[in-house]
Amino acid sequence: MIKIFKKSNYIFFLIILFGFVLRIVSLNTNPPSMHADEADTGYTALSLIQTGMDPYGNSWPLHFQDQASNFKAPLYTYSVIPFVLFLGLNPVAERLPSVIFGILLIVSLYYLLRQYFTEKSIPLVGAFLVAINPWSIHLSRTGLEVQLSVLLTTAGILFFELSKKKSYFIILSFILFTLSLFSYHPAKIFTPLILIVLFMFNFSYIKKIKKYIGISLSIFLFGIIVLGYLAVFGKGASHFNDVSILDNSRAKIVVDSQRNQTTAPLNVSGIFSNKPIYFLRQFTNMYVGPLSISYLFINGENNLDKGIGNYGQYHLFELIPFIIGGFALWKRKKKIFLFVLIWFLIGLIPAGITRSGNYAYRDVNALIPPIILTSVGISVGFKYLYTQKRKFVLWLYVVMSFGFFTFFLYNYYFSYPVYSRDWWGYSQKEVLEYAVQNKDKYRSVVIDGGLDWAILYAFYYKTKPKVFQKAFDDATMVKGRLVIKIDGIYFGPVINESTKIDNVPFIASNSLLIAPSMYFKDQKALRYFYAVDGGTNLKAYEIKN
């Protein structure tokens, strides 16, 4: 192979350093503002530090209630605590754990590939591809639990392979797999399935280490029992129930509608329109979405909080090596190829069973397998072109790849922070700044929005957790949802289509009302808050009566 790989340790260090720079630079401003889920996680960490309870009054929970009344896995929130403790409550402190998990993912894949391949080039290429991967870079820069999940499952697979040299590593492998269950909800589906696959592919080996397997399975079973308890007694399954395609009431409506829209008799239409077929179709639609070349290599995730849009989850220059790597790995190491393929297909299942898909988040455990195949393809391709002295083709590919990567850097670090603002609630940040600057001029300030506004305010303006907890306890129910008052500002859903501007709840004379632009179109606004495309997101009104 090329001589440069002889100094693999130095190259590996440089790859890690480069990956760190890509993840840390402008972390405070890219993404451009705090997502409500990020703010909730960071503020929850502060609340635990100062009061031993989350903002909603729960003491050191094993799953966290969030501003949307869902329950999220606990590990990332707990990982944020030391960063908030030492760096204070700010976007960098909240996102920095994810940066570190992204770097550790580079390390984990490097050592995993060293277990699979004897060539030094493949692990180095794999580490480099993770370091520059658009999907991983973006997830590493968001203060959410997604990057932690893929790290734990990948590291779990790594230590499973390492246990073949030192058997006791199997215990650490299962500890990591167990922790993954508490990292992100999709891991509750992915982890048991990948463990079954690992057992199937390594059955003869498993029989040789029965003592360690017994301990390992006991650890994993304990984790499953805890999850079961949280699901039954702690509303741990509430979010899954909200997003799952297994919505019986919705299925009934769709199936009944299909049976009414046909000339076939009921006993015939029932064969083709029924709940099992409905669920299968829903799963298929969600499952196959990320399998396209467009999604993987060209356009990527179009939800701009979860992806960067107009750019693939992987670089386009990886497409040909990805295909070559698949054929080469199948020819050279069929067992590894089959495992990597199944790993990828299992990683897609969590998004497949949810109505919205959310591929870039819920499919995160499918991130690594294509990189493994591409690593093989690049290594094989470079070796062939180099030994055949086809350096022109080699340099052409390098120049082309550099061009694509340069475009990615420009797009992500200069353009994305602007065109993604609406997805990251940049207008919310502007509104909160405006409300704080002007609230002393009015008897009351009312912002029509959910609890996410309150948690964003608490994050940006460092509200004391005890103040927030009391405000949450004293919240008023309006239209079945909470209206919470903090520092003289009301946050909550107070407007609907029929509400007159003079009849908005909590409005007194000389008040400031901030509402979505869809309401009160005939009223003159005091201030407009604009979207990226020039449209209006929200308006501020001065109420004198």
Domain boundaries, the chain: 146-236, 423-543
Residue 509: exposed, middle, or buried by beta-carbon count in 10 A (0-12, 13-18, 19+)? exposed
pLDDT of the chain along its 545 residues, tens only? 445 455 788 999 999 999 999 999 999 999 999 989 999 999 999 999 999 999 999 999 988 887 766 788 999 999 999 999 999 999 999 999 999 999 999 999 999 999 999 988 999 999 999 999 999 999 999 999 999 999 999 999 999 999 999 999 999 999 999 999 999 989 999 999 999 999 999 999 999 998 899 999 999 999 999 988 887 766 655 555 555 556 666 777 776 677 777 777 777 677 777 777 767 777 777 788 888 899 999 999 989 999 999 899 999 999 999 999 999 999 999 999 999 999 999 999 988 887 665 578 989 999 999 999 999 999 999 888 877 778 888 899 999 999 999 999 999 999 999 999 999 989 999 999 999 999 999 988 999 988 899 999 999 999 999 999 999 999 888 877 789 999 999 998 888 777 888 778 888 788 899 999 888 888 889 999 999 888 888 999 988 86
- The tens digit of pLDDT for each residue in 117-137 reads 998 899 999 999 999 999 999
The token pair at 428 is 């919310």
- The tens digit of pLDDT for each residue in 204-242 reads 999 999 889 999 999 999 999 998 888 776 665 555 555
- Interatomic CA distance for residues 540 and 529, integer angstroms: 8
Q: Report the DSSP pairing between strands 476-478 and 511-516.
A: unpaired
